[in-house]
Amino acid sequence: NIAEIHFHNQLSGDSFPTMTEEVLAGLTGKPKHCSPKYLYDQKGSELFEKICELDEYYPTRTEETILIHAMPEIAALAGKDATLVEFGSGASRKVRLLLDSLSINCYLGIDISREFLIESTRRLAADYPWLEVHAACADFTRGVALPETIEPRGLVAFFPGSSIGNFTPEAAERFLKSLHHLLPPGSGLLIGVDLLKDIRILEAAYNDAEGITAEFNLNLLDRLRRELGLCIDRERFSHRSFFNTDESRIEMHLDSRVAQVLQFHGQTIRFREGESIHTENSYKYSVEGFQHLAARAGFASRGVWTDDQDLFSVHYLLA
């Protein structure tokens, strides 16, 4: 019993560098880096779902608790018959909380991981038979657009999980500006933002005892090997993450355990022992710091909620 969804491909028609070009530029860059979006192949998306269940990884369950408590106020702000657009929908779990409590008749999930997106939106369509469900496989770091069949009325954008923290603050502002441009005045943006806190709590969340985060990070190398034919051996790298206080961000790296040389598309890539590929940043904000950033992008704050330990925040912003 497969529920029907309306499927859309990359929502922007512009031409962008390919994955090979981007990875090559990152590995030959100084310092070496790779965009965190490439962490999310099928396996990576599954590993991320496991991370969300970990004791150490507080953001997911904390955001859910905040959403549950704030739901009556969020419902009042979102109004009736809204269209919900979720960025980085992943397993589409949190959105169920909204679907159960808000007045929503159309849902669009946007995610970079195609099969994962199709599976999770199909499940959603089966569980909410009255809901019009759309899925768009798109890389929203390259700009945002809506499929033509989605009416840009009564829109509520949902960007949970503090994925905004995976952009640099400058890129976050650009992204929010483009969202502001896309959303008609009066639309809402419900966004989860992780907060600055005790370094020990932060570092534990990205260095879990079971090693799932390490596996999530190292899976990137398996993906580059499988999809791009890069001769790279995960045994020669190790996961490292730490809080960079000056930059207010968790950094995730893959450290080369040995000095090594790789060949990729005619380029020689040399690693010193201990040299890393920087694979992710996860910026942490104060409530006010994020409100200022959102204001610079044109959004007005209509509500902000946190948990009783001030671990995480959820903001309702008005376009």
CB neighbour list of residue 180: distance below 8 Å, 6 or more residues apart: 297, 298, 299, 319
Q: Closest CB to ligand AVI among 89 and 282?
A: 282
Q: How far is the CB of 206 from ligand AVI (least distance, A)?
A: 5
Convert residues 59-88 into a mask of x (bound to ligand AVI by CB under 6 A) and - (unbound): x-----------------------------
**Which SS3 state, helix, strand or coil, does residue 104 take?**
strand
Q: Starting from the edge strand earliest in sequence, which strands make up the sheet with 249-256, in order?
A: 237-244, 249-256, 276-283
Q: Closest CB to ligand AVI among 105 and 238?
A: 238
Q: Is 111 in the site for ligand AVI (CB under 6 A)?
A: no
Q: Is 165 in the site for ligand AVI (CB under 6 A)?
A: yes
Q: Closest CB to ligand AVI among 154 and 161?
A: 161
Q: Is 163 in the site for ligand AVI (CB under 6 A)?
A: yes
DSSP-assigned letters across all residues of 121-136: HHHHHHH-TTSEEEEE
Which helix (H) or strand (E) segment holds residue 227: the answer is helix 212-228
Q: Closest CB to ligand AVI among 83 and 313?
A: 313
Query: Rounded to an integer, what distance in angstroms lies between the CA atom of residue 214 and that of residue 253?
Result: 10
Q: Is 51 in the site for ligand AVI (CB under 6 A)?
A: yes
Residues in a beta bridge with 254: 239, 277
Q: Is 213 in the site for ligand AVI (CB under 6 A)?
A: yes
Question: Residue from 166, 187, 291, 313 that binds ligand AVI (CB under 6 A)?
Answer: 166
Residue nearest to ligand AVI (CB): 282
Would you tell me how many other CB atoms lie within 10 Å of the CB of residue 44? 22
Q: Which stretch binds ligand AVI (CB under 6 A): 74-82, 157-165, 169-177, 195-203?
A: 157-165
Q: Is 219 in the site for ligand AVI (CB under 6 A)?
A: no
Asked if 313 and 65 touch (Cβ cutoff 8 Å), the reply is no
Q: Which stretch binds ligand AVI (CB under 6 A): 23-31, 161-169, 177-185, 310-318?
A: 161-169
Q: How far is the CB of 43 from ligand AVI (least distance, A)?
A: 14
Q: Is 89 in the site for ligand AVI (CB under 6 A)?
A: no
Query: Rounded to an integer, what distance in angstroms lies between the CA atom of residue 307 and that of residue 224?
Result: 39
Question: Residue from 206, 243, 290, 299 that binds ligand AVI (CB under 6 A)?
Answer: 206
Three-point CA angle 216, 283, 273, nearest 5°: 55
Asked if 299 and 319 touch (Cβ cutoff 8 Å), the reply is yes
> Which has the closest alpha carbon to 36: 92, 94, 108, 112?
112
Q: Is 280 in the site for ligand AVI (CB under 6 A)?
A: yes
Q: Is 282 in the site for ligand AVI (CB under 6 A)?
A: yes
Would you tell me how many other CB atoms lie within 10 Å of the CB of residue 154? 20
Query: Rounded to an integer, what distance in angstroms lies between the CA atom of residue 62 and that of residue 309?
Result: 10
Q: How far is the CB of 109 from ligand AVI (least distance, A)?
A: 15
Binding site for ligand AVI (CB under 6 A): 51, 59, 161-163, 165-166, 206, 213, 252, 280, 282
